[in-house]
Chains A and B, each alone.
Chain A
Amino acid sequence: MFGNNHSAGNLRTPLAPWVSSATARIAFGAFAAAMLALMVATAVSPPEAWALPTALDTVSQVVNTALPVLRDRSSPVPQRRRKLRSLLEQHFDFSDMSRIALGYHWRELSTQQRAQFTQLFTAFIENAYLSKIQDYSGQDVAILGQNAEGEGFARVRSQIIQSGKQPIKVDYLLRDMDGDWKIYDVTVDAISIVANYRNQFNRVINDQGFDKLMSDMRVKQQQLEASMGS
Chain B
Amino acid sequence: MAVSEEIMRMQTERSIKKLATLCGTALLATLLMVSATFGQSAATGGGDQAAAPKLPGEKTLPGETGGPYTDPLEPFNSAMFKFNVDLDQYVVTPVAKGYSYVMPEPARQSVNNFFRNVGVIPRFANNLFQLHPYNAANELARFGINSTLGVAGLFDVADSWFGMKQHNDDFGLTLGHYGIYSGPYVMLPFFGPSTVRDTVGLVVDGCMNPMAWLLPWYVTIPADAGSEAINAVNYRSLHPNQFEEADRYAVDLYGAVQDAYMQTRVAELKRIAQ
CB distance from A168 to the nearest CB of B (A): 13
Query: By the criterion CB–CB under 8 Å, are A217 and B251 in contact?
Result: yes
Query: B267 on the interface (CB 8 Å rule)?
Result: yes
Given contacts A191-B264, A202-B255, A203-B255, contact A96 B61 (CB under 8 A): yes
Contacting residues, chain B, for A202 (C-beta < 8 A): 67-68, 255
Whether, in the assembled complex, A192 has its beta carbon less than 8 Å from a beta carbon of chain B, the answer is yes
From the candidates B54, B55, B249, B256, name the one contacting A199 in the complex (CB within 8 A).
B256
Name the interface size band of chain A: 35 or more
B251, A201: Cβ atoms closer than 8 Å: yes
Kindly report which residue of chain B lies nearest to residue A216, judged by CB atoms.
B251
Q: How many Å lie between the Cα of A190 and that of B260 in the bound state?
A: 9
Q: Report if A155-B63 is in contact (Cβ < 8 Å); known contacts: A107-B55, A191-B260, A196-B256.
A: yes
- Name the distance in Å between B133's Cβ and chain A's nearest Cβ: 25
Q: Which of A149, A196, A203, A213 contacts B254 (CB 8 A)?
A: A203
| Binary per-residue interface labels of chain A (173-215) against chain B in the complex, 1 for a CB within 8 Å, 0 otherwise | 1010000000011010111101111111111100000000100
| B45-78 residues at the A interface, CB under 8 angstroms | 52-55, 58, 61-69
Residues of B91-130 contacting chain A, CB below 8 A? none
- Which one of B63, B249, B250, B252 contacts A192 once the chains associate, using CB atoms below 8 Å? B63
The interface size bin for chain B is: 20 to 34
Residues of B212-254 contacting chain A, CB below 8 A:
248-252, 254
- Residues of B close to A203: CB separation below 8 A: 68, 252, 254-255
Known: A96-B61, A150-B62, A173-B62. A200 touches B263 (CB 8 A): no
Q: Does A220 contact B (CB under 8 A)?
A: yes
Contact among A128, A200, A216 with B259 in the assembled complex (CB-CB below 8 Å): A200
With contacts A103-B52, A190-B263 taken as known, whether A196 is within 8 angstroms of B251 at the C-beta atoms is no
Q: Check if B30 is an interface residue, CB within 8 A of chain A.
A: no
A192 adjacent to B256 (CB under 8 Å): no
